[in-house]
Amino acid sequence: MTTAVTLDHVSCVFGQGAQTVRAVDGVDLTIDAGEFFTLLGPSGSGKTTCLRMIGGFTLPTAGRVLIGGEDVTLRPPYARPVNTVFQDYALFPHMSIRDNVAYPLMVRKVARAERHRRADELLALVQLPGVGDRRPAQLSGGQRQRVALARALVSQPQVLLLDEPLGALDLKLREQMQSELKALQRRLGITFLFITHDQHEALSMSDRIGVFNAGKLEQVGTPQQVYDTPATHFVAQFVGAANVLSGEAARRLTGHAQAMLRPERITLGATEGARASGTVAEVQYFGAFTRVRVDVAGTPLQADLAAGPGQPAPKTGQAVHLHWNDGAVHALQPA
């Protein structure tokens, strides 16, 4: 498979002396052409710095950046076959929507009729036909996000960089845009590099995920691999809800020195065959499921139980018995 982006032992250091910040620390990464790849991590973990180095907005302190097999480490942004969609959209308020989308073509001196034709095609592709004559202020947040996407795509980049583009949208609109972005990427076949701190966004959209922490890639894998078999304690705790156990409690409950047990893989049942017993400390209702926190001899465990008619949740203070299969336990390497 053709490689779209390669980071070859890339580092980025800001500041000097005691003020030195190692934002990215020796990262090696390969992203395939046509892949929807997500960099996931908390704020300050290094994921956006990586995107900026790929886009040419930040130069690496060490290492190389390759796009399509070509070394672009020192090339300016305009000389790279990439475009970026930012969270704040960055649309020109005085321009029409059509001219906003066509702006990259105007900079390249494409004829007016041609750039408007291509802008209208892209607006139709992002489900905004007929809005070309409006101004950005006349559109909703979700519509402005689609305009920014169309503008980034109009020059047909090899790689589209998306820096938390859905962060300003409300939950319902974010979920809608997640579905639309993935469908659009499949239709176009362009490599998407998506940056987010939202684990649900990453799991639902990505072909593969790279999990960042403190400037390093902790794990790269499919959503299922990252969720089911996290490589480190950080990944286990950051991606999804998890019971992460260590020491005596882990050995007693799982047979491993350190282990992860997802809450949705725990059920409540009879005393016979129970893996653990305890007292309900807290109950939270989330609609699709009820989260029950149980005190097991001083060790807190949480179980996510399917909610619905005829399935009453246990009460605080109630004694319960916890069940899970051997396959629900994932052993972790020492931290």
Query: Maximum Cα–Cα distance for the chain, whole Å?
Result: 77
97 neighbors 131 (Cβ within 8 angstroms): yes
Confidence of residue 211 (pLDDT cuts 50, 70, 90): very high
* pLDDT at site 140: 86
- Rounded-to-integer distance, Cα 282 and Cα 314, Å: 9
Q: 175 or 279: whose pLDDT is higher?
A: 279
121 neighbors 95 (Cβ within 8 angstroms): no
Is the Cα torsion angle 83, 34, 224, 334 positive or negative in sign? negative
- Please tell me what DSSP assigns to residue 84: E
Structure tokens at 72: 């672009």
What contacts 111, CB < 8 A, 6 or more positions away? none
- Rounded-to-integer distance, Cα 270 and Cα 277, Å: 10
- Rounded-to-integer distance, Cα 102 and Cα 82, Å: 16
| pLDDT, mean of residues 17-30 | 89
Q: How far is CA 36 from the centre of its chain?
A: 10
Residues 160-206: pLDDT tens digits?
Answer: 999 887 776 777 778 878 888 888 899 889 999 999 998 999 999 99
- Rounded-to-integer distance, Cα 181 and Cα 198, Å: 15
Amino acid identity of residue 288, one-letter, is: A
* pLDDT at site 287: 87
Structure tokens at 158: 């090899």
- Whether residue 228 has pLDDT greater than 70: yes
- Whether residue 30 has pLDDT greater than 90: yes
Decide yes or no: CATH 2.60.40.3500 for domain 3-237.
no
Residues 36-81: pLDDT tens digits?
Answer: 999 999 988 999 999 999 999 999 999 999 999 999 999 999 899 9
> What CA–CA distances, in Å, run from 124 to 2, 106, 147, 188, 199?
29, 20, 10, 14, 30
* pLDDT at site 135: 94
Every domain range in the chain assigned CATH 2.40.50.140: 242-331
Structure tokens at 46: 């290094």
- Long-range contacts formed by 102-111: CB under 8 A, 24+ apart: 102/154, 103/151, 104/151, 104/154, 104/155, 105/154, 105/155, 108/155
Amino acid identity of residue 148, one-letter, is: A
- Rounded-to-integer distance, Cα 46 and Cα 63, Å: 15
* pLDDT at site 179: 85
- Whether residue 143 has pLDDT greater than 90: no
Confidence of residue 335 (pLDDT cuts 50, 70, 90): low
pTM above 0.85, yes or no: yes
**Whole-angstrom distance between the N-terminal and C-terminal Cα of the chain?**
34
Q: How far is CA 281 from the centre of its chain?
A: 32
Amino acid identity of residue 122, one-letter, is: L
Every domain range in the chain assigned CATH 3.40.50.300: 3-237
Structure tokens at 274: 């129970």
Calculated CA dihedral for residues 312, 313, 317, 320, nearest 10 degrees = 90
| Percentage of the residues of the chain whose pLDDT score is greater than 90 | 70
| Percentage of the residues of the chain whose pLDDT score is greater than 70 | 99
Residue 195 pairs in a beta bridge with 39, 163
> What CA–CA distances, in Å, run from 43 to 47, 264, 315?
8, 27, 37
According to CATH, the topology of domain 242-331 is: OB fold (Dihydrolipoamide Acetyltransferase, E2P) (2.40.50)
- Rounded-to-integer distance, Cα 141 and Cα 177, Å: 11
- Whether residue 87 has pLDDT greater than 80: no
- Rounded-to-integer distance, Cα 4 and Cα 157, Å: 11
